[in-house]
Amino acid sequence: MEIYLDNCATTRVCDEAAAACLRAMTAEYGNPSSLHRKGLEAESILTETRKTIGQMLSCPPECIRFTASATESNNLAILGSAAARPHGGKTIVITAVEHSSVENAAAALEKKGYTIRRVHPRPDGHFAVEDFLNAVDDDTLLVSFMMVNNEIGTVLPYETLIPALRRKAPKVLLHMDAVQGFTKYPVSMKRLDLDFLTFSGHKLYAPKGIGVLYIKKGTRLFPLAYGGGQEQGLRPGTEAVELVAALKEALLLCQRDGRLWETKYRALNQRLREGAAALPRVSVNSPEDGAPNIVNLSVLGIRSEIMLHFLEEKGIYVSSGSACSKGAKSPALAAFGLTPERIDSALRISFSRETTEDEVDALLAALEDGIRRLRPVIEKNGKELP
Amino acid sequence: MNEIILFKYGEIALKGLNKNVFEDILLRNIRWRMRDLGPMRLRKAQSTIYLEPENPDAFDFDEALDRASKIFGVAAVSRALVVEKSMEAICAAAPKYLEPLLSGVQTFKVETRRSDKRFPLKSPGISAETGGALLDAFPHLKVDVHEPDVIVNVEIRDFAAYIHAGSIPGAGGMPVSSSGRALLLISGGLDSPVAAYMMAKRGLALSAIHFQSPPYTSERALQKVETLCEKLTPYTGSIRFYCVPFTELQEAIREHCPEELFTVIMRRMMMRVATLVAAREDIRALVTGESLAQVASQTLDALYCTDNSTDLVVLRPLIGMDKTEIIKIAYQIDTYETSILPYEDCCTVFTPRHPRTKPKLHFIEKAEASFDFEPLIRQAAENTTVKTIH
């Protein structure tokens, strides 16, 4: 039995995407830059996928650049913006709960003399638009924020935030890391006036190794690497055509069934929360109005890794903190105001289109089992000295 | 071009009538470490082992030399050209063979060893003639007998003459398995791989035993230890790797013993399981990475209590070393980066808040008497799995 509940880390590639990937590797294997027919064949995969994404984001296809990961997209947006504006503002505004690819790209600029302002969530765990507005001033180059937090599922108020920032500081660049939100919530570049938007394929049933950066028409950016002119010079290197082909199929699937999944996630979320409430000393860290596919909870007293490995023995896979940092303590959870005890015992459960009620029930039963078996051992302090 | 590799041995050359035994073990070790590099001949003569690839042009000498430098029992290794035993042949071959080396240096000298005393010219004469040939071929070179950039060696031996320059130091020590076999307790930290290296250097073949406590420890922790063993094999040869399911014993200690004594009692349980597993291979010594006073379980009192739980010899090659010295060796044998990966191992699960630094044996025996650990110890040893790591 395998119950995979770590879909915010990565998802199982859907059959359609895997088939498209194989086809592109074995039949449509040309180099998009080649002048012959095989090249054209491969190039049209890129063109078609750009169109699909363009439709989903309501933006012209040429605004879409393919990269190797969301990490690369985030770096390109942040470092590339700064590099293109040597005489521009020297302050970058981010949130205190960003993914390390935003946090560390900003930290790299900090070392070069930029000022980084980190907007914190309010004590209730939500972000206030006002706090962003207060952080922005004449010296601000870029505001970068995530759409949905990857660890507990908090949704940022991007729909009001973006117009508010535009009104206060029309020249400031806006970047949204939509890795956990894209395809889960509608994202239209007609309604959201962003300069950059990031997402990646492997969180939405496409393979690992493909990222996307939306760049608003007319927004200048310097590349991070130099080479041939691919992706309009911004991301040189032969395009990963097979991954782009797979991405298209995965996106079409999300477009077709996304609504159904959302309803299902809400039901699973509810079921898990109710089940967790019945377990002794388990508290849910995710906000009620967070992304329905993410439930972060703490089994107090049992360190995350121990419960994670206990569940693993039963074939159930969840995450402790964010998978990217391999178990390192999460600064984001602290920023959300979680107590050290909660952070130490936090588990992230994240659903996919394939998750079932039975799987959630099996998780709850396993958690109960683990609590019964592990808590007495861990919380025992041994006998007195003889 | 007919090239070979020469292994000169150090300490075993001093052995007496049993020297042959050591040589044969070293020969066998060399053959094993080079086994996948293609067909070759190995033979020994005059305190040297000759490795002769059957197809020298296709032989990966760089890889072979790298491996050779990690084989214990070898004092120095050189890659040499084989030539006919005549001054004409030597003077004709030397310039071409040494060109890549000599064209980049300023000074050199030639040293000759003539172990075949039938060769007409004596050593100084051979050196002078060879040096002359090299000076003719490389006019930029000068001879410097005191501090040359390069020493060119000419050896006149029984079968042929050999030309080489720049021998590399060997790993020293004694050939692995010439001193028998021991069982290494390996956790995944910095110390135990270094301890393994040190004991292999003194000729011990090694088996390793690791204690696993799922779900308190992870699959990655096990993988890390296996990686460490793999990194040791260039020095130690194959390692028989035992993995003990330790969870139940650890939980029982947690339940029945005072917290302050957890670590020492856990060490004693490990020793007991290791002793049972060692008996499977008729092993009479355990190796640990303990260093005096490094942590609470490595004080003299704690070590006394630990030793008291086994009748095997416990070897602690790091006992007098500082952490910085240990880290230096860990870097050298390339285990450092793996060792510092942050996965929890069985030793850090249930760490007491205030461990006893001076545990008394009678206290510990009393604490252990509160529960019958014996069946769990036997069960852990019985359920221990084994595999060979090459």
For A170, counting Cβ atoms within 10 Å of its Cβ (0-12 exposed, 13-18 middle, 19+ buried), the class is exposed
Q: Give me the helix-helix angle, A304-313 and A357-379, nearest 10°.
A: 130
CA distance B309 to A170: 75
* C-alpha neighbours within 13 Å on the C-beta side of residue B170: 26
Contacts of B217 in chain A (CB under 8 A): 309
Per the omega criterion (within 30 degrees of 0), is the bond before B215 cis? yes
Instruction: Give every strand in the sheet of A196-200, ordered side by side.
Output: A64-67, A211-215, A196-200, A173-177, A140-146, A91-95, A115-119
The pLDDT value given to residue B180: 95
Contacts of A305 in chain B (CB under 8 A): 218, 344
pLDDT band per the 50, 70, 90 thresholds, residue A325: very low
Examine the pLDDT at A326 and tell me if it is beyond 60. Answer: no
Q: Which two tokens stand for residue A297?
A: 């909870």
Which CATH code for domain B3-171? 3.30.2130.30
A301-360 residues touching B, CB cutoff 8 A: 305-310, 312-313, 326-328
> Minimal CA–CA distance to A242: which of A51, A34, A69, A29?
A29
The domains spanning B3-171 and B181-389 adopt the same CATH topology: no
CA distance A321 to B24: 55
- Cβ within 8 Å of residue B173, ≥6 positions away: B11, B72, B73, B200, B201, B202, B203
The pLDDT value given to residue A299: 96
Q: B215 and A377: CB-CB below 8 Å?
A: no
Count Cβ–Cβ pairs < 8 Å, chain A vs chain B: 54
8 Å CB contact between A65 and A235: yes
8 Å CB contact between A214 and A196: yes
CA distance A342 to A300: 6
CA distance B207 to B287: 10
Could you tell me the residue ranges of all domains in chain A? 3-9+258-378, 15-253
Q: A309 and B261: CB-CB below 8 Å?
A: no
In chain A, the residue whose alpha carbon lies closest to the alpha carbon of B255 is A382
Q: Which two tokens stand for residue A93?
A: 């505004």
Q: Any CB–CB contact under 8 A between A35 and chain B?
A: no
Lowest-pLDDT range of A328-337, A366-375, B60-69, B340-349: B340-349
Q: Which CATH fold would you assign to the domain A3-9+258-378?
A: Aspartate Aminotransferase, domain 1 (3.90.1150)
- Of the partner residues B251, B258, B352, the one whose CB lies closest to the CB of residue A384: B258
8 Å CB contact between B190 and B168: no
- Of the partner residues B215, B254, B260, the one whose CB lies closest to the CB of residue A310: B215
The pLDDT value given to residue A324: 45
Which CATH code for domain A15-253? 3.40.640.10
CA distance A73 to B129: 68
- Cβ within 8 Å of residue B92, ≥6 positions away: B133
For residues A311-321, give the mean pLDDT. Answer: 93
- Residue A374 belongs to what H/E stretch? helix A357-379
Q: A382 and B216: CB-CB below 8 Å?
A: no
The pLDDT value given to residue B342: 81
- Cβ within 8 Å of residue B95, ≥6 positions away: B102, B133, B134, B136, B137, B138
8 Å CB contact between A6 and A200: no
Which CATH code for domain B181-389? 3.40.50.620
Q: Any CB–CB contact under 8 A between A377 and chain B?
A: yes
> Minimal CA–CA distance to B172: which of B27, B53, B69, B315?
B69
**3-state class (DSSP) for residue A279:** coil
Examine the pLDDT at A126 and tell me if it is beyond 80. Answer: yes
Over residues B192-234, the pLDDT tens digits come to 999 999 999 999 999 999 999 999 998 999 999 999 999 999 9
- Residue A252 belongs to what H/E stretch? helix A241-277
8 Å CB contact between A211 and A190: no
SS3 for chain B, per residue? CCEEEEEEECHHHHCCCCHHHHHHHHHHHHHHHCCCCCCEEEEEECCEEEEEECCHHHCCHHHHHHHHCCCCCEEEEEEEEEECCCHHHHHHHHHHHHHHHHCCCCEEEEEEEECCCCCCCCHHHHHHHHHHHHHHHCCCCEECCCCCCEEEEEEECCCCEEEEECCEEEEECECCCCCCEEEEECCCCCHHHHHHHHHHHECCEEEEEEEECCCCCCHHHHHHHHHHHHHHHHHHCCEEEEEEECHHHHHHHHHHCEHHHHHHHHHHHHHHHHHHHHHHCCCCEEECCCCCCCCHHHCHHHHHHHHCCCCCEEECCCCCCCHHHHHHHHHHCCCHHHHCCCCCCCCCCCCCCCCCCCCCHHHHHHHHCCCCCHHHHHHHHHCCEEEEEC
Q: Any CB–CB contact under 8 A between B251 and chain A?
A: yes
Over residues A38-87, the pLDDT tens digits come to 999 999 999 999 999 999 999 999 999 999 999 999 999 999 999 999 99
Report residues of chain B scoring pLDDT below 50.
none
Q: B342 and A327: CB-CB below 8 Å?
A: yes
* Catalytic residue chosen out of the listed positions A14, A63, A254, A324: A324
In one-letter notation, the amino acid at residue A146 is M
Contacts of B219 in chain A (CB under 8 A): 309, 312
Interface test with B, best of A329, A345, A374, A381 (most B CBs within 10 A): A381
Cα B324 to Cα B139, B190, B321, B327, B330: the distances in Å are: 48, 11, 8, 5, 10
Contacts of B259 in chain A (CB under 8 A): 381-382
For A167, counting Cβ atoms within 10 Å of its Cβ (0-12 exposed, 13-18 middle, 19+ buried), the class is exposed
Contacts of A381 in chain B (CB under 8 A): 259
- Of the partner residues B215, B262, B342, the one whose CB lies closest to the CB of residue A313: B215
Q: B217 and A309: CB-CB below 8 Å?
A: yes
Q: Which two tokens stand for residue A286?
A: 């995710």
A324 annotated active-site: yes
Q: What is the distance in angstroms between the Cα of A366 and the nearest Cα belonging to chain B?
A: 13
B328-387 residues touching A, CB cutoff 8 A: 342, 344, 352, 363, 366-367, 370
In chain B, the residue whose alpha carbon lies closest to the alpha carbon of A384 is B258
Diameter of chain B by CA atoms?
86
- Residue A92 belongs to what H/E stretch? strand A91-95
The pLDDT value given to residue B118: 93
| Tokens 């459960």, residue located | A349
Contacts of B255 in chain A (CB under 8 A): 377, 380, 382
pLDDT band per the 50, 70, 90 thresholds, residue A329: low
- Of the partner residues A306, A328, A381, the one whose CB lies closest to the CB of residue B215: A306
Q: Which two tokens stand for residue A374?
A: 């592990």
Q: To the nearest 10°, report the CA torsion of B75, B77, B82, B85.
A: -20
Q: B214 and A380: CB-CB below 8 Å?
A: no
Interface test with A, best of B213, B248, B259, B343 (most A CBs within 10 A): B259
pLDDT above 90 as % of chain A? 92
**3-state class (DSSP) for residue A67:** strand
Q: A381 and B259: CB-CB below 8 Å?
A: yes
**3-state class (DSSP) for residue A99:** coil
Q: Any CB–CB contact under 8 A between B256 and chain A?
A: yes
pLDDT band per the 50, 70, 90 thresholds, residue A323: very low
CA distance B100 to B364: 67
Could you tell me the residue ranges of all domains in chain B? 3-171, 181-389
CA distance B356 to B360: 9
Q: Any CB–CB contact under 8 A between A373 and chain B?
A: no
- Residue A373 belongs to what H/E stretch? helix A357-379
The pLDDT value given to residue B357: 85
- As a whole number of Å, the CA-based R_g of chain B is 26
CA distance A240 to A244: 6
To 5 degrees, how large is the angle CA A255–CA A256–CA A257?
Answer: 100
